[in-house]
Chain A
Amino acid sequence: MDQLSDDYLTSSDELEITEETTGYLIETTKWAKFIAITFYILCGLAIIFMLVYGKYIYDTLGPYGSRLLEDRFIKAIIIMAILAIVVAVTWYFLIVFANKMRAGLEGENIEQVNAGLGALKVHFIIIGILILLFGILYPLYTLFTVYS
Chain B
Amino acid sequence: MEQEQQLQSIFNFSFDDTSREQIKAIGLWARINAILAFIGLAIGIVAFVMAYQNAYSYYSPSMANGFGLAATGVGAFLKLVQVVISIILNVFLYLASGQLKKGVETMDNGQLTKGFASLRTYYKMYGIVLIVMLILLVLLILFLSTYRRVMY
Contacts and interface: CB of A to CB of B under 8 A. Distances in A.
B117 interface: yes
A21 B16 contact: no
Given A8-B11, A136-B40, A117 B33 contact: no
Q: Which size class do A's interface residues fall under?
A: 35 or more
B50 A5 contact: no
Contacts of B39: 135-136
Contacts of B64: 146
B126 A17 contact: no
A28 B126 CA distance: 11
Interface in B1-21: 3-4, 7-8, 10-16, 18-20
B43 A110 contact: no
Contact of A121 (B10, B25, B123, B127): B25
Interface stretch (A31-39, A70-78, A82-90): A31-39
A85 B30 CA distance: 23
Contacts of B37: 131, 135
A25 interface: yes
Given A24-B116, A128-B33, A146-B64, A135 B22 contact: no
Interface string B96-138: 0000000110010100110011011001101100100010000
A9 B113 contact: no
Interface in A84-143: 108, 110, 113-114, 117-118, 120-121, 124-125, 127-128, 131-132, 135-136, 139-140, 142-143
A106 B88 CA distance: 31
A31 B109 contact: no
B14 A14 contact: yes
A143 B40 contact: no
Given A25-B116, A139-B40, A5 B7 contact: yes
Given A4-B3, A35-B126, A110-B19, A120 B109 contact: no
B146 interface: no
A28 B121 CA distance: 8
A124 B107 CA distance: 23
B7 A8 contact: yes
A117 B23 contact: yes
Interface string B29-43: 110110011011001
B59 interface: yes
B36 A15 contact: no
B11 A5 contact: yes
25 contacts: A4-B3, A4-B7, A8-B11, A12-B107, A14-B14, A15-B14, A15-B112, A16-B14, A17-B14, A20-B113, A25-B116, A28-B120, A31-B120, A31-B123, A35-B123, A110-B14, A110-B16, A114-B19, A117-B26, A124-B30, A131-B40, A136-B39, A136-B43, A139-B44, A143-B46
Given A15-B109, A113-B15, A136-B39, 6 more contacts: A8-B11, A14-B12, A15-B15, A24-B117, A35-B123, A128-B29
